[in-house]
Amino acid sequence: MSYRIRPAKKFRGRWQAAGDKSLTHRAFLFNALGEGEAVLRGLNAGEDCARSRVLVEALGARVEPVEGEKGAWRITGRGGRFRAPDGTLDAGNSGTTLRLACGLLAAQAFASTLDGDDTLRRRPMARIQAPLAALGATVTLTNGGTAPVTVQGGALAGCDYVSPVASAQVKSAFLLAALQAEGASSFREPVLSRDHSERLLRRMGAEIVTDGDGTLRLSGPQSLRCVSLDVPGDISSAAFLIAAGVLVEGGNVLIKNLGVNPTRTGFLDVLERMGGRFALYHPREEAGEPVADLLAQHSALEAVEVAPDEVPRLVDEIPILAVLAARAQGKSRFHGLGELRVKESDRLAQTASLLEAFGAKARVVDDTLEVEGGARLKGAEVDAAGDHRIAMAASVLGLLCRGDSRVNGTACVATSFPEFPGLLRRFSDGALAQDGDG
């Protein structure tokens, strides 16, 4: 698929935010481990989250649509005792599905093999091998540290683990396994990563203590009870619409039911420092998560400096922050972006190349992205390189150019945000059109 994009004369609209991707994965995976039944509403409709649903079904969890409620699912958990799968568990493009499932399976009395598509097979899996091995699981990787991954489950013993990377996926895999282990465990990471797992596990009855330095402590084994959820909106998806509202002349975007978990709002903090005009209304809590409505408006922007310790709170938003920086006054620098090299693409290199293709000046120096603002952007034809966030960032760039643009390889957007092209078309009064490119 490809998008054809013309310059936008407007970008205005309101939207009930699509369900958070991180929370949707966890809603399926964690409830599958729990006792009882839960109803899940407001879920992310992307292909990645569907992989988590199908995977827990393969492990014996019962998952069925709720009659009369579009997009709602009823799940019956396995109470910690999964059924051995008939074959390889396919995570598709979803690193979250694969890595968290390894934690689920680490204490089961059978071996499981997990695999994915060609893109997932290039992503590093050694980062979950070490913490699970520390608990006593046997995790076998392929080709020097990638999928397919085989997990030989068995009796686990609690341990203290210090992670070399700040990763919510690593933390979540460890917690899921440690809850099934015998004895005390602790987990510490260099910088606090998103905390959806701790929040949801506590709602499910887990006793997890957070020390003053962010270390998580728990003792196992612990049982979980299934909990129903109304999943709040995904800020990582909404960021593309917020950015377009700020960048397009006369832009005005209202997003309802947006998740504003403090471990996820780094994008908003940076946008505010750049001079972006937005406001949060009706703050509340849903599903144990902070939620608000957000109004964003066209703004003049200034360059920004982003430090390495900010990156875990905005790692998925770097491509669209770079687009904002291209239209700001001055040179912006984003430091500590090494993690972007192991996303669906080398997202760091792809972001710089994308900006250059549209006429902006950008370069990568070690793990820092530098973007020179104030460029007059020109229409371009680019490829998304199999990366949904590159595809969406390119689409927003296309709205800002002199001349038409084309973004090829956009089928990947369906992994996280299938509503995106329709919303961009509606908010921009038809500036985006879709067609097939084989």
Give the list of residues 6+ apart from residue 157 with CB closer than 8 angstroms, or none.
Answer: 135, 136, 181, 182, 183
Place of tokens 């299938």: 418
Structure tokens at 78: 């396995």
Predicted local confidence at residue 438, as pLDDT? 38
pLDDT in tens, 305-331: 999 999 999 999 999 999 999 999 999
Domain pair 2-19+232-435 / 21-230, same fold: yes
Q: Which CATH class, in words, describes the domain spanning 2-19+232-435?
A: alpha beta
d(CA 36, CA 205): 13
> Which residues on adjacent β-strands are paired with residue 35?
225
Predicted local confidence at residue 437, as pLDDT? 43
Name which of 260, 248, 240 is nearest 320 in CA terms.
240
Predicted local confidence at residue 146, as pLDDT? 94
Residue 169, CA distances (Å) to 22, 101, 111, 256 in order = 10, 10, 21, 27
A 10 A CB-CB count for 330 gives: 15
CATH 3.65.10.10 fits 21-230, yes or no: yes
Predicted local confidence at residue 436, as pLDDT? 65
- Considering Cα of 169, then 121, then 413, then 350, what sign does the dihedral take? positive
Is the distance from CB of 289 to CB of 262 less than 8 angstroms?
A: no
Is the distance from CB of 336 to CB of 367 less than 8 angstroms?
A: yes
> Which residues on adjacent β-strands are paired with residue 361?
372
Structure tokens at 50: 């569907």
Domain layout of the chain by residue ranges = 2-19+232-435, 21-230
Q: Which residues are catalytic?
A: 316
Residues of the chain with pLDDT under 50: 437-438
d(CA 52, CA 69): 20
Name which of 271, 277, 242 is nearest 256 in CA terms.
242
Q: Which residues of 258-285 are buried (b: 16+ CB within 10 A; e: fewer)?
A: bbbbeebbbbbebbeebebbbeeeeeee
- The H-or-E segment that residue 54 falls in is helix 47-58
pLDDT in tens, 122-142: 999 999 999 999 999 999 998
- Helix segments in 116-265, DSSP class H: 126-135, 168-178, 196-203, 235-247
- Helix segments in 213-265, DSSP class H: 235-247
pTM tops 0.85: yes
Structure tokens at 23: 């929370």
Structure tokens at 67: 């009659």
- Helix segments in 248-365, DSSP class H: 266-274, 318-326, 347-357
d(CA 257, CA 237): 13
